[in-house]
Every structure is written in C-alpha cells, then in structure tokens.
A and B are shown apart, each in its own frame.
Chain A
Amino acid sequence: MRRTSLMEVAKIILVAIILLITLFPIYWMIITSLEPWELVLVWPPAFLPRQLTIEYWEWAGSRFLLPLRNSLIIAGSTTAISVALGFPAAYSFSRFRIGGTTLPFWVLSLRFLPGIVPCVAFYILFRFLGLLDTHLAVIIAHLLITLPFSVWMFKVFLDAVPRDLEEAALVDGCTYSQVLIRIILPIALPSIAVVALFSFTWSWNEFMMALILTKSQAYTLPVMIAGFRGAGMIWGGVSAGALLSLIPAIILAIFFQRYLVAGLTMGAVKG
C-alpha cells in the first residue's frame, strides 16, 4: 500500500514539472507584458511581478488593432468558405463515392507542401491581378490548406453517420438538398464546430503566406509580431500582442479537447 501511494506522489510531482515547463513561457509572457521593462531583464529573474503597469497593453492596443482586425477578417472568411463549400462537397464524396481512393492522399499531401511552392505562384498571380496586400489574397491562399482539410474532416465524419434516416426521408419525397439541410446538418453540428475552429486557428496562426502576400494594409497578427524581430523588439508591447493571438488556441484547448486528436491528425487517429 505504501509503495502505491509513493508512486502516486511521484506521478503528481512529475506531472507538475511537465505542466510547469509547458505553461511557464505563457506565464512569463503575461509577466513581461505587465511589468516595467527595467524589471523584466534583471538577474536573477523575478518570478513574481514586483510592480505592474498597463503601459504596454495600451501600446499594443493602438498598434495591434489593425492586424487584429485583419486576422479576424481573414480567418473568419477562410473558415466560413471552408465550411460552406466543404460540407456539401464532403457529403457528395461520402454518399456518392466521387473521387475514389486518391482523394485522401491528395488532401494529406497538400498540407505538407513546403510553403515556398504555393507562395511563389500566389505572389506572381496576385501581383498580376493587383491583389497583393488585400484580405482576399490571403484568404484564397489559406483556402489551399483549410478547404481540403474541411472536405476531408467532414467526409471522415459523414462516413460514420448511418444512412437509414436519409433513405427514409428520400423515400418520403425529400430532395437531396432538403436531406442535407434538415437531417444531416443537425447531426453534424459538432463536427462543423470542430472543422470551423480548426480552420480558424490554422488561418489565424499561418505566417509564411501572410508575410509574403501582405505589406502595409492586410498584414495579420503573426506578421506584425514577427515584424518586431531583432534589436528593436519592445518586449512588453509585443508580449501583449502575442497574448491576444493566443486566444483561439486557449479556447480550442479548453473547450474542444475531445476533438483535438482527430483534428490534429485529420482523422487519422480518433480521440
């Protein structure tokens, strides 16, 4: 008995250490954003703040507003389009078996395309169309990843939904569109939430394409944060901005824990 309780204590200590290492960088960023600059880089570091200021949040509040708005517009539109077009397409792939067996591989391979390949193509295309530095350019570029992702995730989900209900409705004279909206959609709501949140987070976090396709108008939060790299980095203010960009991650981690594994592996592993 004593041995087991000792094991329990050891486990708790180990888990505590892991949690500490995993969460410390975020805690440290919060401290950095709230403490006067002179106190942040002292040796030895002060692990509890000795003096608080909202100066850096005000600094970030004025500067990060535009990228925050851009990120919201781009990630929001990307998500809406991915779900609205991906869902019916996935329904078709699932029920009428269009696309065969090559589709999965195709979808998977897209996610691992080195960024430089689509970047070159999109840059030349949008330069030609005069769309550089617009929301639309980044949205289209992001759809390259989120749309195949959404089609694929919805297909994995719909494949698992039994067909009896739809068949009954079809016999009763419903059209396919009615079946899709009245019967499938309500069942699929959780999967829609998952696909939407993952698409949103992916677009929100994406850096390389947003960096290359924007300049002074449509740049997103990660581009803004990366812009402070080098000596001119103002740690407090950038930390405040970086914390803003963590919001979707935290929401997804806390409320959608259950679907995380399926989302991260594109359904290859079920949670």
Chain B
Amino acid sequence: MRERRTAYMFVLPALILLIAAVIFPMVFSINVALRKYDLRLPTEDYPFIGIDNFLRAARDKYFLNSLLITLQFVVMGIALQFPIGLGVAVLLSRFRWRRYVLPAIAIPVLTPPIVAGYMGIILFHPDGVVNYFLSLFGASKIPWYSRPDTALITCVLIDTWQWYPFITLILLAGILSIPPEYIEAARIDGASERSIFRHVILPMLRGVIAVALIFRMLEMLRVFDVIYIVTYGGPGTATQVTNFYGYLVGFHYWDLGYAAAMGWILVIILSILVTYYMRAFRVS
C-alpha cells in the first residue's frame, strides 16, 4: 500500500502539470473548433455551431489547396532526404574517421529551423552562392523563393539540408548494430557487395527505416517555420501549407474557431496515416 501511495506521489506533480499544459489545451481547442470563435466580432460570447467549421473547411479551396501543398512538400522532401540520408549513412558506415565527421553532420538537425530558413534566404538569393554555382554550369539566375514554381522546392531543399542528417544518424545507428558476422558470412558465400546490401543490410534496417520515415513524415506534415521565414506562404499561395494557412486564419484574420478546426483535421489525417503506416511496417 505504501508502495502505491509513493508511486502516485512521484507522478502527481508531473501529472497535474501535464493536465494543465497538455490535456486542457487539447480539450479546449476542440471546444473552440466547435464554436464561432471569431475575435473580430464585438461580442464576448461565441456561439456553439457544431461541425460548421469542419464543413466550411471541406468547401474552402484555400484549405484544400493547402493540403495539396503540404502533401507535395512531404513527398518531395522524403524523395530527397531518404536517398541522401541512406547514401551518406552507408558511406559513413565504411568510413574510418567517421567519429570526427558525425558532430558536423549533427549540427543542422539541432539548428533552429528559423535559422536554417534564414541561411536559405542568403544562399538562395538571386545573386547568392547557389546561383553562382549553377552559373558555373551555364545556368541562368533563378529567383528561387520569389517565383511560384520554385518557391516550394526551395523550402524543400532547405528542409533537406537540415534533416537529411536525421535520417543518416538513425540509419547509421541501424547499420552499425548489424552483427558483422552476418555480412562476413554472406561475403564468404560469395555474395557481391551489392547483393549484401540488398539482401542482408537493407532487410535488417527495416525497423530503423520505419522510425526515420515516420518521424520525418509527421514533422513535415506540420511544417511551419521554414515557410514562415522564407516565403510567408507566398508568392501568392504557392507555399501555403496547412499549418501556415491555419496560422493566417487564426492569428491574422482572428477566426480562432476555424483555425482550430483546420488543426484538428490535420490531426485526424496524421492519426490515420500513423495507423496505416504502423500496420504496413508492423512496428509496435
């Protein structure tokens, strides 16, 4: 009995705070999402309107467009970051001086995303370093983040600089945890390096690949910082991802109810994705 009481005594302070800082905002934002919570209205009471905000989102072409842009961001990001991350992980796993390289590789992951975006502004400037390198190969100057058709990919590239090391670090940990005897055995049996990679290393990485991809996917679905500083959703609505559109609606047009509803739609999409994903990869 004394045991139980001690247990709860240890948990209680954290639990109270968690309820205040976690449960309350969640429940409260559902409540807000179900109301006409518009701070521009001169009233102090915000009428309950059921799922009207959610229905409005389903008809809002800016919202639907933002979902599409978010999806593009995630797909392009994974398509770039996964191969790069995996390639660098394999390279470093066979690199003798890897422990001197790793701290440098880790810095982008820990950098404030706002700073990463700020670096991107400097480097992708029309007269910046990126265009200079491209001009060496004969390309003309690209106004990276100020043109609708290149703005999103610019944000993806900045995100890739920051997060490919995340995938590298995780996959490298996975590769290094494979017992060397497995690879030795395959080599003795006459397997080529390529088939060792495909049939020994890759299958054993399944678990860590699943973790790396889901972390990255979920983070990218809620991208905000890079978009805010580099393009502010623009030009036009070219980079207006859902989390950013929610911010505009909530904190520029002060329609907090609608913003909360959009946030919860994103949560629902995220949960469905996670559930399917976990089933597909059979990770617990």
Binding site for B on A (CB under 8 A): 11, 14-15, 18-19, 21-26, 28-29, 32, 41, 43-45, 81, 85-86, 88-89, 91-93, 95-96, 98, 109-125, 140-141, 143-144, 147-148, 151, 175-177, 180, 201, 204-205, 207-208, 211-212, 221-222, 225-226, 229-230, 233, 235, 238-239, 242, 245-246, 248-250, 252-254, 257, 260-261, 264-265, 268-271
Contact = CB atoms under 8 A, between A and B. Distances in A.
A245 B6 CA distance: 41
Contacts of B10: 88-89, 91-92, 176, 180
Given A117-B267, A119-B250, A264-B109, A207 B114 contact: yes
Contact of A25 (B113, B123, B165, B251): B123
Contacts, number: 270
29 contacts: A11-B94, A45-B128, A45-B129, A85-B13, A92-B6, A96-B4, A109-B271, A115-B222, A115-B224, A116-B266, A118-B26, A118-B29, A120-B29, A120-B263, A123-B250, A140-B20, A147-B21, A176-B10, A201-B110, A204-B112, A205-B114, A229-B121, A229-B228, A253-B104, A257-B103, A260-B106, A265-B211, A270-B177, A271-B173
Q: Is the interface of A mostly helix, strand, loop or mixed?
A: helix
B121 A242 contact: no
Given A15-B101, A96-B7, A143 B17 contact: yes
A260 B107 CA distance: 11
A26 B109 CA distance: 13
Q: Is the interface of B mostly helix, strand, loop or mixed?
A: helix
B175 to A, nearest CB: 12
A268 B88 CA distance: 21
A269 B259 contact: no
B24 interface: yes
Contacts of B177: 270
B152 interface: no
Chain B's interface size range is: 35 or more
Contact of A269 (B119, B165, B170): B170
B118 A22 contact: no
A245 B117 CA distance: 13
A41 B7 contact: no
B174 A88 contact: no
Contacts of B229: 225-226, 229
Nearest to B18: A147
B132 A140 contact: no
B264 interface: yes
Contacts of B21: 140-141, 143-144, 147
A124 B28 contact: yes
B243 A253 contact: no
B8 A92 contact: yes
B161 A25 contact: yes
Contact of B107 (A11, A23, A98, A230): A23
Q: List the 5 shortest-distance A-B pairs measured between CB atoms, nearest first.
A: A249-B110, A89-B14, A121-B25, A116-B246, A96-B7
A85 B17 contact: yes
Most buried by B among A88, A233, A239: A88
Contacts of B32: 120-121, 124
Most buried by A among B22, B101, B219, B228: B22
A122 B22 CA distance: 10
Contact of A22 (B26, B161, B222, B251): B161
Given A88-B11, A96-B4, A226-B114, A28 B169 contact: no
Given A121-B29, A222-B225, A248-B110, A116 B18 contact: no
Contact of B22 (A15, A110, A205, A245): A110
A98 B25 contact: no
Nearest to A253: B106
A212 B14 contact: no
Interface in B42-65: none
Contacts of B127: 41, 43
A115 B113 CA distance: 14
Given A11-B95, A147-B17, A253-B103, A123 B256 contact: yes
Contacts of B11: 88-89, 92-93, 98
A89 B15 contact: yes
B147 interface: no
A91 B8 CA distance: 11
B112 A120 contact: no
A151 B274 CA distance: 22
A225 B114 contact: yes
A242 B115 contact: yes
Contacts of B262: 116
Contacts of B91: 11, 14-15, 18
Contacts of B112: 204-205, 207, 221-222, 225, 245-246, 249
